[in-house]
Amino acid sequence: MPADHPTPPASPPAPLLDTRALEAALARFADERDWAPFHTPRNLVMALTGEVGELNEIFQWMTEAEAAQAAVHPDTARPVRDELADVLLYLVRLASVLGVDLDEAVRHKLVTNARKYPVESSRGSSRKSGA
Ligand SMILES: [Mg+2]
């Protein structure tokens, strides 16, 4: 770049995950019901785990072929969506209550995973890293 055109300051990267509107909606939902006192980190972790369990129940005992169709099969399409939403809602609420920036956490974890599983040694392998 020519000297008479200085490099513009780097702008922050666009977020991979912008949960601000959802965090606000969840806070409003809890505040309207005076549920904020119940939304402690411990309670939210347990609620999140319960919702993951409900998602697990849908897939339990399915064949791989049935599981691959779970989001489109008439019997399970709605329940899959409902439980995925429940997991996301509790996850976002938990992060919000803890003051965790999920976008930063996700970005950091993607970098960590890329270092932990280099393409050259990980391609086609399901082997888990020791760390
Ligand atoms: Mg549920």
Type of residue numbered 124 = G
- What's the rounded mean pLDDT across residues 40-64? 98
For residue 42 the two structure tokens come to 């411990």
Cα 54 to ligand 1 centroid, rounded to whole Å: 6
Q: Which residues contact 98 (CB under 8 A, 6 or more apart)?
A: 41
Judged against a pLDDT cut of 60, whether residue 112 lies above it is answered with yes
Reported as a pLDDT band with limits 50, 70 and 90, residue 12 is confident
> How close is the Cα of 126 to the center of ligand 1, in Å?
30
Q: How far is the CA of 106 from the centre of ligand 1 (A)?
A: 24
Q: Counting Cβ atoms within 10 Å, is residue 60 exposed (0-12), middle (13-18) or buried (19+)?
A: exposed
Entry pTM: 0.86
Distance in Å, CA 22 to ligand 1 centroid: 17
How remote is the CA of residue 130 from the centroid of ligand 1, in Å?
33
The dihedral through the CA atoms of 31, 37, 43, 44 has a sign that is positive
CA 91 to centroid of ligand 1, rounded, Å? 13
Q: Give me the pLDDT at residue 2, please.
A: 53
Mean pLDDT of the chain: 93
Query: How far does the centroid of ligand 1 lie from the alpha carbon of residue 58, in Å?
Result: 11
Expressed in angstroms and rounded, the spacing between residue 15 Cα and the centre of ligand 1 is 28
Encode burial over 17-47: b for 16+ CB neighbours within 10 A, e otherwise.
eebeebbeebeeebeeeeeeeebeeeebeeb
